[in-house]
Chain A
Amino acid sequence: MNAPAQAAQLTPQKFKSDVKPVWCPGCGDYTVLSSITKALAALAVRPENVAVVSGIGCSSRIPAYTTCYGFHGVHGRALAAATGLKVARPDLTVIAAGGDGDGYSIGGNHFLHACRRNVDLTYIVMDNRVYGMTKGQPSPTTEPDWDSKLSPQGTGLREFHPLVIALASGANFIARATSSDPNGTAELIVQAVRHPGFSFIEVLSPCVTFRPEQRTWKDRVHPAPVAPTDDPGRAARRLMTDDGFNIGVLYAGHRKPYRTEQSATPSSVAELEAEFIL
């Protein structure tokens, strides 16, 4: 955890900007936004010491809705930008956020390597199993038989399992959250930010416009009936066999976060040219 200790704790409202979200009424992302602001207040950080980094998609609009430093980059590259920022500026609290298409499809490779690299940052994916901004196409987490104009009768492809992939790739903290429980999600975000290394939270966040049936998610979610484990084998079994609606911390490991080596013999810029001089 890198959140600098602050004397005065701000209210969640102080982390909310006055920019009006583009989201549809009833979108799960509203409550994820409020969970983030609640978590930042609870972490007692200052907005200027937090950066929220995203790619493209409905949920990726989230940085501008906070009063933190925001980075709304290109599609799929939120984790790359967040990694660069955190490595260059380890003093900042860095949160990457976005959707399932941005993170698991176009950004899938960065997801794998961010888990492997284990840079001390938090990645929040608002998973609604659909591309909303482009008006309803199947994403990697969409059910294989979900009908759409682009893929009539469904893609026929097996769903991507982000939590298992994260575990196998080396993520140090893995949790599932739900937008129907803003306080619970805020608490998970606090834990994720405090946990060293790469923390991944998959938030079930319904798209009421293109997946109205997801309104029932709030009735299906339930607290994980188990304590968090640091045993990857146990976590793998848990993640492979659960019903997809277990909410809570499902894995918390002890891998050392990524850090770059500094030379034991620091030198001035001019000293670097010694090797060229004849």
Chain B
Amino acid sequence: MTQTGKGMTSVSVALAGSGGAGVMTAGNMLLEAAAQAGYYGLMTRSSGPQIRGGEAAAMLRICTAPCDSVDDRYQVLAAVDWGNVARFAAELPLAEAGLVVGDPAQGEPPEVFLKSGARYAPVTLKAMAKKIPGGWPNMVALGLLGGLIGLPRAALCAAVEKSMKKGGDALAASLAAVQAGIDEAAKLGAGFPLAPAPAGSSRWLVTGNQAAGYGAIRGGVRFVAAYPITPATELLEWMSPALARVGGTLVQAEDELASINMILGGSYGGVPSLTATSGPGLSLMIEALGLGVAAEIPVVVVDVMRTGPSTGIATKTEQADLNIAMYGLHGDAPHLVLAPNSVADCLLTTQWATHLAESLQVPAIVLSDQFFGQARAVVERPAEVSFAGARERAAPNTVDYKRYALTPSGVSPMAIPGTPGITYTADGLEHGERGTPSSAAADHLAQMDKRARKLDSIDYGEHWAEIEGEGELAVITWGSCTGAVREAFARAKGDGVSGRLLSLRLMSPAQPEKLRRALKGVKRALVVEQSFGGQFLRYLRAEYDLTCELTSFRRPGPLPVRPDEIHRKILEWSRA
């Protein structure tokens, strides 16, 4: 939370309640209203283990500038009822000067939420809603939260209208309930009013899963086969109708073994192909990814990482699939691994991954995570990026065609079924240049060298990493820790500490020369990641020749990494 004379530049609020209370609906409307009013924001969600019903919480951060991370504490927690909401206590740290709003008819708020010193304000949400025929407590709560953070009434109403297109009595009742909430907020004191919204720009309201799906389609993906898995399912559910609109197809497979082999089949047929999954599914796909490497068939696998190992915590985030993505394949199997660094960047990174996979004829793994995938964010409209070049196809009737010809770049033109005069068999068996199986040492070495050479043959340009700031100190991070690190650095500046932020987007192939240049003059680096065992630290040590002193900041999921913990670490580390 940051206070200025004119109001807050960031405020975080949460709305909780049991299943059917409509907290997600109200949360989405609040985010939409904030966006309408010109603010940026981010909404994450949490729910209990029940398949349907059960307690849920919508957690929002509304800001005057783009934000890629959750904040440290919540200014307001409003609950329609308390049910089992206490189970979210660790996810909902409240500010000392925070406010807890609850309906006294639903009992007292759990003690854990008042420990911070937050003030309790009883508001009879249910009774207030009841006074309005057709009114609902969640709409009262929406008005209340909107009022407390100073969102204009018009923006709140617009958000409600947008979501209740049918209009009629139900809409009128909701608008009246929102108004009742706004009126009630005014009685609760000063609230947490936001500073004025920044000047309007072109913005999107999008989840990381949607952005990744759209990036894939922009990159040319027209065939998807996939098996449902949390938290990747929404990516697939978004792509299914979207693909149909642009002439593509999605098949629901019987398992992840089928998904990956189906997309290998589709891509072998010349159609850029993708699947999306999470850790357990990626584990099942590993064997066939090796086939993609050996037979040189491009595919994209988006792994929306969740807390592992095994089934782990399916609905929570972690950055612990780096090892399997980098090193899980048997044999020496060079392939691409990329990672987005923000919700919006899921678009660019997946589009780039598709482009690279296609041009290099190699599988690409995109390591998104649950935080990105399921967070809904108001972001600047992502730039239109066009990556030139695509899969190189062999011409019909090429004389003496060799599918796996040993070219200088390692990339050899691919024959696409339907093309006459150049038929071949794609094979996971080691092969010679024509694709004919071979166990000869010379063929093995030549083909291994070719497959490795492909990945080293191109300049990955500036997208390999995000690099910000100057100084002798650096924080090296990746993925969803990036936003929290950026914010921590901004705060550290106020303490007189500054340094460089490096967030790697291209994990494989590693770019040691580029990192060396980016770290020129850096004496010490802090490595920030969300994994128990320090997978990213080990990766850096294995792949890069780092001369600076490395310190590790790491912890596992399921809780998101917050700026404050990194800020404190940066201060302690920089002064050590």
Contacts and interface: CB of A to CB of B under 8 A. Distances in A.
Interface string B251-273: 10111011111111111111101
A260 B241 CA distance: 11
A73 B264 contact: yes
Majority secondary structure of chain B interface residues (helix, strand, loop or mixed): mixed
A269 B246 contact: yes
B249 interface: yes
A261 interface: yes
Interface string A250-272: 00000000001111011111011
Contacts of A260: 244, 249-251
Given A48-B417, A48-B419, A81 B262 contact: yes
Interface stretch (A36-44, A62-70, A170-178, A184-192): A62-70
A47 interface: yes
A198 interface: no
A263 B249 contact: no
A82 B548 CA distance: 51
A51 interface: yes
A69 B424 contact: yes
B245 A85 contact: no
A1 interface: no
A88 B269 contact: yes
A128 to B, nearest CB: 21
A49 interface: yes
Interface stretch (B204-212, B311-319, B479-487): B204-212
Contacts of B241: 263
A76 B288 CA distance: 11
A46 to B, nearest CB: 7
Interface stretch (B84-92, B426-434, B531-539, B553-561): B426-434
B288 A70 contact: no
A85 B416 CA distance: 11
Contact of B258 (A51, A64, A77): A77
Contact of B264 (A49, A70, A81): A81
B261 A84 contact: yes
A192 B76 CA distance: 66
A81 B263 CA distance: 7
Interface stretch (B52-60, B101-109, B217-225, B504-512): B217-225
B478 to A, nearest CB: 25
B496 interface: no
Interface footprint category on B: 35 or more
A35 B528 CA distance: 62
A85 B266 contact: yes
B428 A74 contact: yes
Contacts of A265: 245
Contact of B242 (A19, A68, A272, A278): A272
B463 interface: no
A71 B268 contact: yes
Nearest to A89: B269
Nearest to A64: B425
Contacts of B501: none
B36 A278 contact: yes
A266 B417 contact: no
A87 interface: yes
Interface in A92-135: 92, 109-110, 112-113
Given A84-B225, A109-B255, A68 B423 contact: yes
A264 to B, nearest CB: 9
Contacts of B291: 73-74
Interface in B381-422: 381, 415, 417-422
B245 A71 contact: no
A265 B210 CA distance: 20
A101 B126 CA distance: 63
B351 to A, nearest CB: 11
A81 B245 contact: no
A19 B436 contact: yes
B48 interface: no
B59 to A, nearest CB: 21
B372 interface: no
Interface in A224-263: 260-263
Interface in A6-43: 19
A83 B262 contact: yes
A194 interface: no
Contacts of A77: 257-258, 261, 288
Given A89-B270, A278-B35, A69 B417 contact: yes
Interface string B213-245: 010011000110100000000000000011011
Interface in B67-100: none
A74 B255 CA distance: 15
B273 A113 contact: no
B247 interface: yes
Interface in B269-295: 269-271, 273, 287-288, 290-291, 295
B436 A82 contact: no
Contacts of A278: 35-36, 203-205, 378
A58 B247 CA distance: 38
Contacts of B210: 276
Contacts of A86: 265
B152 interface: no
Interface in A194-234: none
Nearest to A86: B265
A113 B273 CA distance: 21
Contact of B251 (A70, A87, A89, A276): A87
A244 B428 CA distance: 34
A134 to B, nearest CB: 15
A47 B421 CA distance: 9
B437 interface: yes
B455 to A, nearest CB: 22
A71 B426 contact: yes
B246 A73 contact: no
A85 B258 contact: no
A1 B223 CA distance: 22
B251 A48 contact: no
Given A48-B420, A84-B223, A267 B205 contact: no
A91 interface: yes
A-B pairs, top 5 by smallest CB distance, nearest first, are: A70-B425, A84-B265, A84-B262, A88-B266, A80-B261
Given A48-B423, A70-B426, 7 more contacts: A48-B418, A70-B424, A74-B428, A84-B265, A269-B246, A271-B245, A272-B242
27 contacts: A48-B420, A51-B269, A64-B425, A64-B435, A64-B437, A69-B423, A69-B425, A70-B424, A73-B295, A74-B261, A74-B428, A76-B257, A80-B262, A81-B265, A83-B258, A84-B225, A88-B269, A89-B266, A109-B257, A263-B241, A266-B245, A269-B217, A272-B214, A276-B206, A276-B214, A277-B202, A278-B35
